[in-house]
Structure 1
Amino acid sequence: MPDVLCITVRFLDPLPQFHGRTNGGEPEWPPSPLRLFQAIVDAAVSRWRSHTFDGCAKPMLLWLENRQAPQIVAPNYSVGTPFRLSVPNNDLDSSASFWVRGAEPAKPHRPADLRTMKVVRPVRVHTKNETEKSLHYLYPIADTDSEFATHKETLVTAARSVTHLGWGVDMVAGDARVLSEEDAANLTGERWRPAAGASTTQLRAPRAGTLNALAQKHEAFLNRLSADGFKPVPPLTVFDTVGYRRDTEPAAREWVAFRITSVDPDAPNPSFDAPARCRDVAAWVRHATGEVCQNWPFPDFASFVHGHTENGSQTKGERADERFMYLPLPSIERRGDRGEHVGAIRRVLVAAPPGFGERIEWIRRRLPGQELVWDNRAQGLLNALPDSDWVLQRYTENAQTWSTVTPVIWPGHDDHNPEKAARLLRKAFVDAGFARAVVDAITELDWRPVGFRAGAELASRYALPDRLSGRRYHVRVRFAHPVRGPLAVGAGRYRGLGVFAAE
C-alpha cells in the first residue's frame, strides 16, 4: 500500500481564527494548498539563504509544486460576523515615487489620507481539544516516486519552520510526517477531496512554475520604486484552481434554466399562478423535453425523461432517482422595505442527478425555442436564462438556510405526531440525495401549513400532480454548512413541489 505524506499545521491561538480570503474577497476555508505551499516557501527561504536555498530547498519545492492536489482534513468551522477596522492604505508608495526623484508630491498626504476601513470576516475554527486545532494536507506518495526519499528530510525541516498561514495573526506550528493509508484515514476532522463539478469549493493549488512565479513577484515587489516611478506589483497568475467537496457534502445536481416568454413577440411574457399551475408548468416542460429527446442517444429515455419504464410503470429501486426534475421557479421579488415576495412562475429549471451533465447539455442545446403546449395551445416559449439571473441564483446558490416556495409532500403519514413528522421530513432529505450525516447535523428544521415567505400560499392550496397524495407543509431548514441548490425534497420533487430558495 502506498504511503501518504501528511503536512500538518496547528493553530496556536486558544480560540483559532483564519483570515485568508479567496480571489473574490470571500472567506476561504479550508486554507488552500497554494496557501500552504507559499507558507512552506517562506519558511524555506528564511531558513536557507542564497546559494544554500538553491542547492537544498529549491529542488524540494520544485518537487512539491508538481504533486497532485492533496486531500485536506480540517476542523469544523463557521464564518464570523463581519466587522471593520482601520488599516494603512499603502498609499505612501505614490509619495515615495516623487521622493526617489528628489521632488515633492503635488498634493502632500494628510494623516487621514493614509488610513482606510477594511472589512474583516474571519473563519472561526471549532475545536474541543488540541487535536482538533490541526489541518492536515495528505499527498499520496507512489511506490515509484524515488525522489521523495531525497527531499523528505528537507521537507520535514521546512514544514516545521512554518509559523503563519493566512494573515500574520494566524499563527500556526507546522510539521510533516509519513503515514500509512490506514493512519491517514483515522485523522480527526472533515475530509475535503478534490472533485469536479460546479458545486465544489474552488481552492488554488500550486503547479509547475508556481515557485518561479513567486520569486518573480517578490523581485517585482523589491523593485516597485525606482527612478522611473512606481511600478505596481502584478498578481500571481501561475497556479491551478481545484474543486473540493467534503465527504458529507451532497454533490449538487446538474441543471439548465429557461425563461418563459410569449409566443407573440408583441405580447407581454406570460406568468402562471404558482399554487394552481405549478404542476401544470412542470408537465408542460416534461412534455417539451420528451419531444426534443426523440433521438435520445442514451439508453434510458423513458425512465430519465418521463420517470417510468417502457411499459408505463413507475421506476423503482436504486436507480429510480436517475431522472430529470422539472422545477417551475416562482419569482422572488424585492419590494423595498417590505422585503422579498414570492410571485408568479416565469422561469423553469430542469435538473439531473450529479454525474449526468451530458444529458443536461443535450437538452440545453435543444430546448430553447420549444413551445409549452396545453390543450393544443402554446402557453409560452422556452428561452435560455443566463446563470447571472438574480432570481435564478436564489435557487442555485450556496447557502445554509433554505425555505420552500412550493410545499413539501410528506413521504408517508405523520399521524399528526411531531416526532414522526420530523423523522419523515429527515427521510425526505435523505431520499433527495443528502448524506445521513448531513441530515443528522441539520441545526434547524421547522414546518407549518403557512409559508415562511411573504407571498407563499397555504400549503393545502397547491394542486398536486396526478397520482400523488399526502400531507404537505412549507419547510424551513438550516444546515450545519452551506449547501448548493437547486434543492427539491419530498414526493413531488420531480414535478415542481418541495422546491426551496436560499434565504
Structure 2
Amino acid sequence: MLQLELAFPLARCFAATHDDPAHPEWPPSPSRVFSALVAAAHCRLGGIDGDSVAALQTLETLPSPMIFCPEADVSPSPKRYVPVNDIDSFFDKRKSSHPARPLHAERYFPAAFMLGEPIVRYVWSEDVNDAELRQLDKLAASMTHVGTSHSMVVGRFSRAEPTSTPDWIPDESQPERFLRVTRAGRLDELDRTHAQGGSMLRRPLPQAEHLQGYSARHPTLPEVRPASHRWLAWRLRGASWGIDTPEPLARSVRRALLALLGNNAPVAAHGHDHTCSHLAFLPISDVGHPHATGHVIGFAIALPGGLAPEDDSALMAALAMLHSVILPDRQVARLEPVLVSARLPKALHPSTWCAGRTGATTWSTVTPVILDRTPKRKTPEAIASAITQSLVNAGYPAPVEVTVRHTSDFQGAPRALDVPSPYPRYHARVRFAQALCGPVIAGRGRHFGIGLFRPLPQEN
C-alpha cells in the first residue's frame, strides 16, 4: 500500500474546514495535502517536470485514503480584526467601516493542536510504480507546510502495510465528517487557477474535487446490523410547519422530486410497484431537548439499498437539483444540503437518527406508528404484537421488548392522537436483541414520515 507520512514539528495545523472559516480542519483533507505537493513541485529548482506531473496525475486518481492521526483540540478560532492590505478592499471598507475599527476586516486563524504524537499518515489501498514512488517521495521531501505557512511539515512517501486500526476511513453510508479529496484533473485545475491571476482574483469553485464522507473506526465494535437505507438530509428554510403533520410535507417533497425526474422516474421514487423498496420522505423536527419546539427544520430522504445503478444515478442527479419545494399552504421553502460541521444542529446530524456506526438497541418513536393491521381487541399486548409485526414487515428484526405509549419519549414530539389519521396510531419504545443502524421507520405511513424512530439519548 502507498503511504504518506507527515510530521508536524510544532504539533499544530493551521487550516479551516470547507464550510466554516472559524473551525479548524482535522485531520487535514487529502485534497489539501495534494495541493501542498503541487506547490512543492512548482517551487523546486527548475520547476515542475514531466515525471512529477505523471506521478501527481496518478496520485489524484487513487481512491480516498485511510487516515491515521492523533486526537486534536479543534476549538473554534475567535474573531479578530486585521488591517485591510489591498486597494479595492481598502476603499470598500472605507465606505462602510465601523467607527471603532476603521479599515479593518474580520479574520479567523483556526488551528488544530495535536494531543498525541504529531504524525499523520495517509494510506491508499492502491499502489504506484517505483518511478512514481520516487518522484512522490522527492516532492514530499520538498514540502514545507500544509495549510498556512505556520503549519510546518516533514513528509515522506513509502510502501507500508498498516499495523494498527485507522482513525478515519471512507464511509458513504453514515459519515461523521466530510473531507475534500481529489478527482482526475485536479492538477490541471490548480495550474489554471494559478495562471489566471494573483490574490485579487476570487478562486472559482473546484470541479475536480469532491467531499468524501469519513467515519471514525472504533477498535471494538459490537456486532451491528447494517443500515438498509442511505440517509440524505437537507435543511428546510422558510417553512413554519410542526412535526404533527408530516405526511403533507413529505408528499410535497415527493411531488417536487417526481417533477425533476419526469416520465422516467424510477419505481423507487413513484412507489407504484409494491414488490420493490421505495424511498422514504422524512421531515426532521427539533425534538429531544428541554427547549424543543417540534418545528420541522430539515428534511431527509432514505434511499433503499439494492437500487439499480441507472436508477441510483437518476435519483442522485435529480436530488442535486432539488433546491426548493412548494408546501401545501403555498409557502415556498428552500432546501439546503446538510454538511456535517461543528455548527450543525443535533437534529440535522445523521447519527441522531441513524445511531452512527455502533448502532443502538433501544429506539423510540418521534412520530407514532400507524399499525399495518389493527388488532380486534386493543389490549396493550395485542398492540405491542401489532407494532412488532409492523417492524418485521418493514424489514427489521422482531424486537425483544415493546412498550406502548400515547406520548413520545422526546420533548417536542406530538402526541399520538395529534397526528391526523383515520387509523389507530401509537408511540412505542422498542428494544432489539442486536444493535442496528437506522433509520428505523415502520407502519403504514413509513414512507411519509409517520412511524419514524430515533435512538434514545443514552445510546446516541
For normalisation by structure 1, the TM-score amounts to 0.51
Matched, 1:43 2:40: yes
In the TM superposition, residue 406 of structure 1 has moved relative to its aligned partner by: 2.3
Q: Distance in 2 between matches of 1:285 and 1:93?
A: 44
Change (3 A) 1:466 1:340: closer
* Counterpart among 172, 175, 178 of residue 156 in structure 2: 175
In the TM superposition, residue 295 of structure 1 has moved relative to its aligned partner by: 11
Change (3 A) 1:465 1:323: farther
For normalisation by structure 2, the TM-score amounts to 0.55
* Counterpart among 4, 8, 13 of residue 11 in structure 1: 8
In the TM superposition, residue 45 of structure 1 has moved relative to its aligned partner by: 4.1
Change (3 A) 1:488 1:206: closer
User: Between the two proteins, what is the percent identity of the paired residues?
Assistant: 16
In the TM superposition, residue 240 of structure 1 has moved relative to its aligned partner by: 0.9
Higher Rg of the two aligned structures = 1
Match of 1:325? 280
Q: Distance in 2 between matches of 1:389 and 1:208?
A: 25
Q: Distance in 1 between matches of 2:452 and 2:187?
A: 47
Matched AA of 2:152: M
Q: Distance in 2 between matches of 1:385 and 1:71?
A: 38
Change (3 A) 1:332 1:401: closer
In the TM superposition, residue 78 of structure 1 has moved relative to its aligned partner by: 7.0
Residue pair 1:408, 1:491 contacting (<8 A) in 2 also? no
Matched AA of 2:121: L
1:19 aligns to what SS in structure 2?
coil
Q: Distance in 2 between matches of 1:82 and 1:354?
A: 40
Matched AA of 2:185: A
In the TM superposition, residue 239 of structure 1 has moved relative to its aligned partner by: 5.0
Within 5 Å, which residues of 2 pair with 1:24-35? 25=21, 27-35=24-32
Residue pair 2:243, 2:414 contacting (<8 A) in 1 also? no
Match of 2:361? none
In the TM superposition, residue 70 of structure 1 has moved relative to its aligned partner by: 3.3
* Counterpart among 304, 307, 322 of residue 353 in structure 1: 304
* Counterpart among 185, 190, 194 of residue 168 in structure 2: 190
Residue pair 2:183, 2:210 contacting (<8 A) in 1 also? no
* Counterpart among 210, 215, 220 of residue 242 in structure 1: 210
In the TM superposition, residue 7 of structure 1 has moved relative to its aligned partner by: 1.5
Aligned Cα RMSD in Å? 6.2
2:142 aligns to what SS in structure 1?
coil
In the TM superposition, residue 19 of structure 1 has moved relative to its aligned partner by: 2.2
Q: Distance in 2 between matches of 1:116 and 1:285?
A: 41
Residues 387-409 of structure 1 show CA distances to partners (whole Å, capped at 9, x for unaligned) of: 2499xx97994466679992577
2:293 aligns to what SS in structure 1?
strand
- 5+ residue gaps, structure 1: 96-104, 143-147, 225-231, 262-268, 310-318, 369-379, 410-426, 434-447, 474-482
Residues 124-163 of structure 1 show CA distances to partners (whole Å, capped at 9, x for unaligned) of: 65x5x42x74131426236xxxxx3223223212213323
Matched AA of 2:303: A
Change (3 A) 1:243 1:498: same
Change (3 A) 1:252 1:21: same
Residues 281-307 of structure 1 show CA distances to partners (whole Å, capped at 9, x for unaligned) of: 989999xx9xxx9999659998x965x
* Counterpart among 81, 103, 107 of residue 118 in structure 1: 107
In the TM superposition, residue 177 of structure 1 has moved relative to its aligned partner by: 0.3
Match of 1:201? 178
Matched AA of 2:143: V
Matched, 1:67 2:18: no
Matched AA of 1:341: T
Match of 1:342? 294
Matched AA of 1:245: G
Residues 108-139 of structure 1 show CA distances to partners (whole Å, capped at 9, x for unaligned) of: xx9965643323444565x5x42x74131426
1:141 aligns to what SS in structure 2?
coil
In the TM superposition, residue 42 of structure 1 has moved relative to its aligned partner by: 3.0
2:39 aligns to what SS in structure 1?
helix
Match of 2:402? none
Q: Distance in 2 between matches of 1:278 and 1:332?
A: 13
- 5+ residue gaps, structure 2: 218-226, 323-327, 339-343, 355-363, 370-390, 398-405, 431-436, 456-460
* Counterpart among 72, 75, 81 of residue 80 in structure 1: 75
* Counterpart among 156, 160, 177 of residue 141 in structure 2: 160
Residue pair 1:257, 1:384 contacting (<8 A) in 2 also? no
Change (3 A) 1:238 1:258: closer
Matched, 1:233 2:201: yes
Match of 1:91? 86
In the alignment of these two chains, the number of paired residues is 368
Change (3 A) 1:285 1:217: closer
1:43 aligns to what SS in structure 2?
helix
